[in-house]
Chain A
């Protein structure tokens, strides 16, 4: 390749690939982030796609986007605004122009900017002018034409030709950021092993895009983002769903149990079921149930039979599972329920993110029905929290609800691969054969967990079920005081999990003007906003929660050392209200934004500054 024009080093860059939902933007973005990760950048990605598999072509509603944030320092969010936008058609421009940084670069497939598609996207004549983008660096490239030209001798059908145009755009972006093509070329070779012509076509289009950008010197200067000083080790890119699935397998392995998953496909949780279904090599017994209720009921049946039972879902599915979750509370069996939260109520926004299932997770059942509630806070820590959710379920004989969300589920980041040696052993409370006078509801005095007699074991025959249990024998009991006692025991058992969870960590000084409080998937954005304000000398700290029920022991100690407390969440204040109930002598400010999207760091900082200056 020829000598390059001037190269400018950048701290970090946000790139957004967007096009029709059939344009392959998710793959394009993934390939760019994989290459960047392999070059040593820190990355964070966020796919943003419509619920329709192939929404009407050229419409704003059908635009699929993939945002990637790469940095030479650590990055914790996919970025608020993009430095570079790839728009494969006018609709993609329309959907994303407002998310551009003022001096950004826009790459357009000018072949698709004809009258028909311009009108379809809702523009009159000239989208660039109408969006007031004239002072942006707009690179118009005849992507479709040049893609066709590049592969015309390969004898491919037109559909395959057009489908590879995303690689042309990717080639251009690689040039712009001085990235090699080799990793992506290797990907083609592995992915299309049996179809050499597709490998060749994709390589050719990718290279043509790269050379096109080079030839026209699309940008002067081009950019470089050097490797980030990240901790030494072996890394992989992982999304939240995959990390969740793996954390569950890891827990089963550490407990010496087989893993059973009973689930029904639902966006955005399906990836966990898919990943676990593929893991037969590790003995996962996966069961695609006929509905959400069967998902949890088969998992409960499996737990009863001595396996680690797991079911995965999203908000509407959790609603369907609530009666059965109460059954798991009553029968005191280990069960992990994963709720990958999405926009609600009802069908809501299936592909978008939200944190509005918190109250449902805590209280959405009949009766006094306590469960442990844990929330993951980054794509990769879904592994850690899935592992510990399962550990608590097994060692405390209780259902545990793990909350993730659409942002964590689909977002990816580099993950330093742990060794299973770093994780603790999990000790199931299995009753050995030959135990005399087994009482199904006798408890460990410390944790109040009952023990687990596995069907098949001689001499431990017993019955469990949804009717109230005698506090010792587990036989059906209608005794009024027994019911009161059992209600308290179930509550107390969940409360005592506090002994095995870590204290709440504070990011920043342990006293000050403003305490920012968050939970779950907003961690990256809150952390970035708080860190940036701290760098400006502001008196602000962050307390981010992963253990929701029970809450860590030291919450009060942290809260009482700040003048102002603000709880930020993607709902109308569910965690804030929960904290109000638990800590009635504090005042909690709120920041809530429910767009189906993550917070932006900018809006968080603005809000915090407003409070600090008030």
Chain B
């Protein structure tokens, strides 16, 4: 995308509607990060369409002073696909949640990614159904007790990154709701990526799933349990930046620098643009307590987009065909005169 205007600010993208998320909800911070990212990108508000499904996160378009479409449950990816394919000049963002994208909307989600339409999708993952007041979601950890799983869930959760990569995703990033700096940075990268970009934001639901991600986001422990990945830099983390990741056989392994002769040069260096999704899948799947949780842009690979391919096909056929208008078509092929 092109940068058109550097004088835009946060406020140019904010609508006059009252924000109705619960006080303390992680969504407020995500909205903030998106507004900052848009100000930084410098494209005017009329060039954006924010499209959502149903759920707490999906109220998002009302709070943006851009074009917006609050759709129906699960269908944001399909509505957005139509809008983007119809009008490739629009910058289309999908705002969705874990239930909206991966339960009721799972089919549209994977096919959007497979087609590689240039849409930025932000998935607010709070591992719960909030708007319907607390039922488990496709990302709820196994055993989670909710209103519809009073004895604990018995199903394995989706790992969004694995699903994205399994759908041939070319861009996957992860952030945390209250880390506005990281989210802003990641959203800017997602916008710059040509093709479908999926950003999973680990989001807290203060009412129905308080501390949803507490084991990795709490202040006291987070530095030991999160790793920030940057393209071209070694995979290093920890309060004292003394831990890192290496490849041990076919698996990732956490090592301590200085122990057993391991030093920084031995660590894996992050390559977001590596076409082979092997390491990216492993990085996406890292879970506490075995691993730190990976944040930042995990995968960023270029691939032709659907709408560009469609346009080039249309242009090519238009040039070669003798049929230029409806009257030509009506008279084409086998006709006879009486």
Contacts and interface: CB of A to CB of B under 8 A. Distances in A.
Interface of A: 34, 37-38, 40, 227, 230-237, 246, 249-250, 253, 258, 260, 262, 279-283, 285, 287, 289-291, 293-294, 297-307, 309, 323-324, 327, 331, 417-420, 454-467, 475-476
Contacts of B314: 280, 283, 285
B233 to A, nearest CB: 38
Given A294-B107, A309-B86, 14 more contacts: A236-B335, A236-B336, A280-B314, A281-B324, A282-B323, A293-B75, A301-B83, A417-B335, A454-B87, A457-B46, A461-B45, A463-B68, A463-B69, A465-B61
A367 B218 CA distance: 46
A455 B107 contact: no
B8 to A, nearest CB: 13
B90 interface: yes
Nearest to A187: B334
A280 B78 contact: no
B41 interface: no
B1 interface: no
B67 A294 contact: no
B111 A461 contact: no
17 contacts: A38-B336, A227-B338, A281-B323, A282-B323, A282-B329, A290-B108, A290-B111, A301-B82, A301-B86, A305-B49, A305-B83, A324-B75, A455-B49, A456-B47, A458-B44, A465-B62, A466-B54
B242 interface: no
A309 B87 CA distance: 12
Nearest to A331: B69
B338 A455 contact: no
A418 B329 CA distance: 11
Contact of B87 (A298, A305, A466, A475): A305
Interface in B80-102: 80-87, 89-90
Residue among A227, A300, A305 with max Cβ neighbours from chain B (10 Å): A305
A309 B86 CA distance: 9
B331 interface: yes
Contacts of A40: 338
Contacts of B266: none
B317 interface: yes
Given A34-B334, A458-B44, A305 B62 contact: no
A294 B46 contact: no
Interface string B112-154: 0000000000000000000000000000000000000000000
Contact of A464 (B44, B66, B69, B335): B69
Contacts of A293: 75, 78, 108
Contacts of A37: 336
Contacts of B337: 233-235
B79 interface: yes
B289 to A, nearest CB: 38
B241 to A, nearest CB: 44
B325 interface: yes
A261 to B, nearest CB: 10
B38 interface: no
B326 A294 contact: no
Nearest to A229: B338
B327 A465 contact: no
Nearest to A286: B310
B290 interface: no
Interface in B188-246: none
B82 A305 contact: yes
A278 to B, nearest CB: 9
B313 interface: yes
Contacts of A260: 82, 85-86
A414 to B, nearest CB: 8
Interface in B278-325: 310, 313-314, 317-318, 320-321, 323-325
Interface residues of B, number: 57
Q: Which 3 A-B pairs have the closest CB atoms?
A: A301-B82, A465-B70, A298-B82
Residue among B65, B79, B335 with max Cβ neighbours from chain A (10 Å): B79
Contact of B338 (A230, A418, A467): A230
A301 B81 contact: yes
A38 B15 CA distance: 64
A129 to B, nearest CB: 43
A459 B46 contact: yes
A291 B112 CA distance: 12
Residue among B67, B69, B86 with max Cβ neighbours from chain A (10 Å): B86
A324 B51 CA distance: 15
A419 B327 contact: yes
A323 B90 CA distance: 26
A280 B120 CA distance: 27
A281 B329 CA distance: 10
B107 A290 contact: yes
B262 interface: no
A460 B331 CA distance: 41
Given A236-B334, A455-B67, A298 B85 contact: yes
Residue among B47, B82, B326, B338 with max Cβ neighbours from chain A (10 Å): B82
B260 interface: no
A399 to B, nearest CB: 14
B22 interface: no
B330 interface: yes
A291 B81 CA distance: 13
Given A282-B326, A420-B326, A458-B44, A294 B78 contact: yes
B7 interface: no
Residue among A293, A299, A307 with max Cβ neighbours from chain B (10 Å): A293
Contact of B313 (A231, A232, A280, A463): A280
Nearest to B108: A294
A463 B65 CA distance: 8
A298 B81 contact: yes
Contacts of A300: 79, 82
B326 A250 contact: yes
A475 B17 contact: yes
A287 B81 contact: yes
B86 to A, nearest CB: 4
Given A235-B336, A235-B338, A260-B85, A461 B79 contact: no
B249 interface: no
Contacts of A280: 313-314, 317-318, 321
A253 B325 contact: yes
A289 B68 CA distance: 22
A321 to B, nearest CB: 11
A281 B321 CA distance: 6
B51 to A, nearest CB: 7
Interface in B38-76: 44-47, 49, 51, 54, 61-62, 64-72, 75
B81 A281 contact: no
A455 B70 contact: no
A101 B329 CA distance: 40
Nearest to A283: B314
Contact of A306 (B51, B66, B80, B86): B86
A417 B68 CA distance: 42
Residue among B69, B85, B318, B331 with max Cβ neighbours from chain A (10 Å): B69
A236 B49 CA distance: 44
A301 to B, nearest CB: 3
Interface in B252-292: none
Contacts of A456: 46-47, 67, 87, 89-90
Nearest to B80: A301
A302 B85 contact: yes
A294 B81 contact: yes
Residue among A249, A289, A298, A459 with max Cβ neighbours from chain B (10 Å): A298
A185 to B, nearest CB: 14
